[in-house]
Amino acid sequence: MPETKGDLTMAVKDIAEAVAVFDRVKVVELVEAEIAAKTEIDEILNAGLIDAMDIVGKRFSSGELFVPEMLMAAKAMKAGLEVLKPHLSAGAVAAKGTVVIGTVKGDLHDIGKNLVALMMEGAGLEVVDLGVDIDAEKFVKAAVEHNAGVVALSALLTTTMPTMEIIVAAIKEAGIAVKTIVGGAPVTEAFADQIGADGFSTDAPGAVELTRKLLST
C-alpha cells in the first residue's frame, strides 16, 4: 500500500511512545528518520515530542509513573529536541531585540522554556536564558544589564505562579522600560491580566509572535 499521511502520523506517534518509555536512542533515531522523510517539523515537535510529555504527565497523575521516570522522559524528549534544534532555529537573522527568559523561583521545569527560547532565537531575537529557579532580583538585574525589551517568565507549577506576580511587580518597581510576558501549562490569560503582565501565550510560537509585537511598539 502507498505511504499515506496516516502512516506518517503513526510514525510520529512512535516518537511519543519512545519518549514515554524513556528510550533516548530510539527517540533520536525516529526524529532523524522523520526529518529525513521531510515530515513537517511542527508535527514532529507537537505530535511527537510535546504530546509525549502529556502522556507522561497523565501517567504521573494516575500514579503509574513517579518523579524519576518523569525525569527520564524529559531527558528523552530533550535528546529529540536537540536533533530538531537546527531546524527550529533555521533562518535566524540579525537580532531584533533582547529577551531575558527564565523559569521562576521554586520551579525546575525547563523544557517548555527552552523551546520558547529556541524559537525566539530562530526568529532573530537575542535571548539571554537565565535557566531555572530564578528570583525577581536576578530577572531585574539581567534586564538592566542586557537592556532587554522583554522579560519572559515560565512556570509549570500552580505553586510557583504567585512568584510570577512578585517578579512582574519587582520589574515595575525597578522603573525599567521592559515588557513582561508569562506562560507555562497552568498560566492563563486571566492570570496574566490579573498580575499586570504585558502578555501571555499558550505556546512557544505564540510567545515569539507576542514578543515581536511588543518589541515593535
The window from 18-26, 28-36, 52-60, 137-145 that contacts ligand B1M (CB under 6 A) reads: 52-60
Binding mask 116-155 for ligand B1M (x = CB under 6 A): x-----------------------------------xxx-
Query: Comparing C-alpha atoms, which of 181, 174, 133, 132 is closest to residue 153?
Result: 181
- Which of 110, 129, 165, 198 lies at the binding interface for ligand B1M (CB under 6 A)? 110
Nearer to ligand B1M, 7 or 176 (CB): 176
Binding mask 15-44 for ligand B1M (x = CB under 6 A): ------------------------------
The window from 8-16, 30-38, 122-130, 175-183 that contacts ligand B1M (CB under 6 A) reads: 175-183
Query: CB of 112: closest distance to ligand B1M in angstroms?
Result: 2
Nearer to ligand B1M, 6 or 87 (CB): 87
- Which of 50, 123, 142, 143 lies at the binding interface for ligand B1M (CB under 6 A)? 50
Is residue 98 near ligand B1M by the rule CB under 6 A? no
The window from 9-17, 67-75, 89-97, 121-129 that contacts ligand B1M (CB under 6 A) reads: 67-75
Per residue, what are the HEC states of the chain? CCCCHHHHHHHHHHHHHHHHCCCHHHHHHHHHHHHHCCCCHHHHHHHHHHHHHHHHHHHHHCCCCCHHHHHHHHHHHHHHHHHHHHHHCCCCCCCCCEEEEEEECCCCCCHHHHHHHHHHHHCCCEEEECCCCECHHHHHHHHHHCCCCEEEEECCCHHHHHHHHHHHHHHHHCCCCCEEEEECCCCCHHHHHHCCCCEEECCHHHHHHHHHHHHHC
**H helix or E strand, kind and range, residue 100:** strand 98-103
Listed in sequence order, the residues at least 6 apart from 21 whose beta carbon sits closer than 8 Å to its beta carbon are none
Write the DSSP symbol of residue 134: B
Nearer to ligand B1M, 1 or 164 (CB): 164
Q: Which residues bind ligand B1M (CB under 6 A)?
A: 50, 53-54, 56-57, 60-61, 67, 70-71, 73-74, 106-113, 115-116, 152-154, 156-158, 181-186, 201, 203-204, 207
